[in-house]
Structure 1
Amino acid sequence: MRALVTGGAGFIGSHLVEALVARGDQVRVLDNFSTGRWENLAGVAHRVEVLEGEVTDPTLVARAVDGVDLIFHLAAIASVQASVEDPVLVHRVNVEGTLCLLEAARRQGVKRFVFPSSAAVYGDHTALPLAEELPTRSLSPYAASKVAGEAYGRAYWASYGVPVVILRYFNVYGPRQDPTSPYSGVISIFADRMRRGEPPVVFGDGRQTRDFLYVRDVVRATLLAGEQEAAVGKTFNVAGGRETSVLQLVETFNRVLNTRLSPTFAPPRPGEVRRSRADVSRARAVLGWETTTPLIEGLTALVKEMGDDGG
């Protein structure tokens, strides 16, 4: 198969590219390298085609989509905080970019369009676990951009028959997530600080919860979304199905690192949800997928890889 991965030099995208190459696909990457890194593709650079540019550029997108069977559209500004700071830019990239890809996919006649959305679309729902049928509640421009992307995906499936699958990623962590970015995930930031003996900074009281999952589990779900015919036109939670508080995360890191660091506290950040835990029964039933990496195992692997890389 011939696959396009937008955002393929990024954190999740580069792991997906490696998996596609490993199974024998011909892979093309479209990335603007604003957060993606060339070194993320170092292991497969000789086996992938890389186009550098914007997903909002129709000419470049048409070139990227030409001849491909599968599109995995991971390119996005994936940050609540960044969206609060610059909602117009996030709309342009996340919404207009998605529409640009969908239109190119329609013209190309692709066999599958996988669109990773986000748990942020659920907002402050308190009826846990969060099921895909719940109405969306956008608490940030980022969440709104993902709701809009989902809506366009469903519209292109209903109107033109573009075979779209929507995946709602929850809190993904693992190697290549940049801990130096203020928009990075809490796990990579905590790992970086606590490995250096510095206390983690907790926003709010630390009792807010997230549903964490390891990046390689996410890649497996994403590949299955590109394969299973029964997945077309559907939306799936991609999550561990377990609720972990930020304070529990600190405790688990202390176990992994054999430290006794206590967090420092800062004011809560706007637009962040209080609790999060997914219902993953649909992904299990339709995709045949569930996570296989316990949190402590994933954190241990992450810390080891950061050490091996000299980070």
Structure 2
Amino acid sequence: MSQTLLVTGGAGFVGSNLIKALLTDFPAAAIVSLDNYFTGRPENHVNDPRVSYVDGSTVDVAKVWAERGLPSPEIVFHLGEYSRIVQSFDDHDLTWEFNLLGTMEVVKFASANGSKLIYAGSSSKFGNDGQDENLNPYAWTKAKNIEYIKNYSSWYGLDYAITYFYNVYGPGQITSGRYATVIGIFENCYRHGKPLPVVSPGTQTRDFTHVDDIVRGIVLVAQKGSGDGYLLGTGREWPLLEVAKLFRTDYVMIPALRGERVRGQADTSKAGELGWHPTRQLDEYVATFVATHEPVRGAGDPNH
């Protein structure tokens, strides 16, 4: 039986990798990506006739779906939100629109169509006895969305499962500009022969998870999971200075950034109950990257 799957943010880093996995794991499915291309890119499109790409806002998801006469999706993978911590202070209005208004409409859409909602929560809500969710507009909106989804389910019977990503890295990550990831920035600076910028004090930790493991976890949760609490990480804390030293090049300390947490480490026990376990390790990934990339000395500013 054919299926229709919706991936919001399908032209983004994680979304595009997810679509590739869905093509294999759901061989009879037609996949629709809804992306506003804020950080998504056309070059991330998967060239397959089963995938269609719609340029639009999640706020308008019901309208977009109706205009195209698409069948109700069996599963809605909701990844299309604003997803940067420090920048969310300056992008407050965008964070509110993408994360609160957009997600409200996606939740309503999934419920109205009898779809299972797979929500990409943020690990930023954990830590410090739950107080870290108040550190910045991004973390706060993501935490409020969790409350909304759980309440909506009890009010209206929404079928859902919530995953949490821990510092995703890998092929297709953003490597430059305001929305680049940590590993992406390090890779870009390494390529250009520039010192890696390490946020002070450098002892703060993150749990870095390869995008292949993240995608495999999302699919598994969609197939077998229910409810809240599927944390997708390796369970290992990496101090940022130690990560920079993996690249075996120069680094420079930069001032601490507003709104960032001190520690990050996933408790993967609930995801493990579904049979999910991380298979990729950061140090091995970086070692391969360094071995296969020669720095270009004297190149321009890698951040522009």
> With structure 2 as the length reference, what TM-score do the two structures score?
0.89
* Counterpart selection for 1:199 from 195, 198, 220: 195
Answering whether residue 246 of structure 2 is matched by residue 252 of structure 1, we say: yes
* Counterpart selection for 2:282 from 295, 305, 308: 295
The alpha carbon displacement at 1:124 in A equals 3.6
Secondary structure at 1:227 match in 2: helix
* Counterpart selection for 1:265 from 244, 250, 253: 253
Distance 2:269 2:22 in 1: 26
The alpha carbon displacement at 1:205 in A equals 1.5
Secondary structure at 2:33 match in 1: strand
Answering whether residue 190 of structure 2 is matched by residue 186 of structure 1, we say: no
* Counterpart selection for 1:26 from 17, 23, 30: 30
Equivalent residue letter for 1:262: D
- Aligned partner of 1:77 in structure 2 is 82
Secondary structure at 1:298 match in 2: helix
Answering whether residue 158 of structure 2 is matched by residue 162 of structure 1, we say: yes
* Counterpart selection for 1:240 from 234, 237, 241: 234
Q: Assess if the C-alpha contact under 8 Å between 1:123 and 1:139 holds in 2.
A: no
- Aligned partner of 2:73 in structure 1 is 68
Distance 2:209 2:135 in 1: 22
Distance 1:305 1:16 in 2: 26
Question: Which residues of 2 match residues 1-311 of structure 1 at below 5 A?
Answer: 1-23=3-25, 24=27, 25-44=29-48, 46-57=49-60, 58-60=62-64, 66-110=71-115, 112-125=116-129, 137-228=133-224, 231-254=225-248, 261-285=249-273, 287-300=274-287
Q: Assess if the C-alpha contact under 8 Å between 2:19 and 2:46 holds in 1.
A: no
Deviation digits for residues 50-70 of structure 1 (CA, Å, limit 9, x no counterpart):
111101124125558742100
Deviation digits for residues 64-113 of structure 1 (CA, Å, limit 9, x no counterpart):
87421000000011001221112222011111111101111111111x11
Secondary structure at 1:272 match in 2: coil
Deviation digits for residues 159-188 of structure 1 (CA, Å, limit 9, x no counterpart):
111111111111110111111122221101
Equivalent residue letter for 1:273: R
Distance change >3 Å, CA 15–CA 171, structure 1 → 2: same
The alpha carbon displacement at 1:291 in A equals 0.2
Distance 2:250 2:117 in 1: 44
- Aligned partner of 1:130 in structure 2 is none
- Aligned partner of 1:129 in structure 2 is none
Query: Percent of aligned pairs with the same residue?
Result: 33
Deviation digits for residues 126-149 of structure 1 (CA, Å, limit 9, x no counterpart):
xxxxxxxx6763211000110111
Distance 2:245 2:200 in 1: 17
Distance 1:63 1:216 in 2: 34
Distance 1:148 1:306 in 2: 42
Deviation digits for residues 204-230 of structure 1 (CA, Å, limit 9, x no counterpart):
1211110001000000000011100xx
Distance 1:160 1:276 in 2: 34
Q: Assess if the C-alpha contact under 8 Å between 1:55 and 1:61 holds in 2.
A: no
Q: Assess if the C-alpha contact under 8 Å between 1:138 and 1:144 holds in 2.
A: yes
Equivalent residue letter for 1:10: G
> With structure 1 as the length reference, what TM-score do the two structures score?
0.87
Distance 2:24 2:190 in 1: 34
| Unpaired segments ≥5 residues, structure 1 | 126-133, 255-260
Secondary structure at 1:114 match in 2: strand
Aligned length: 289
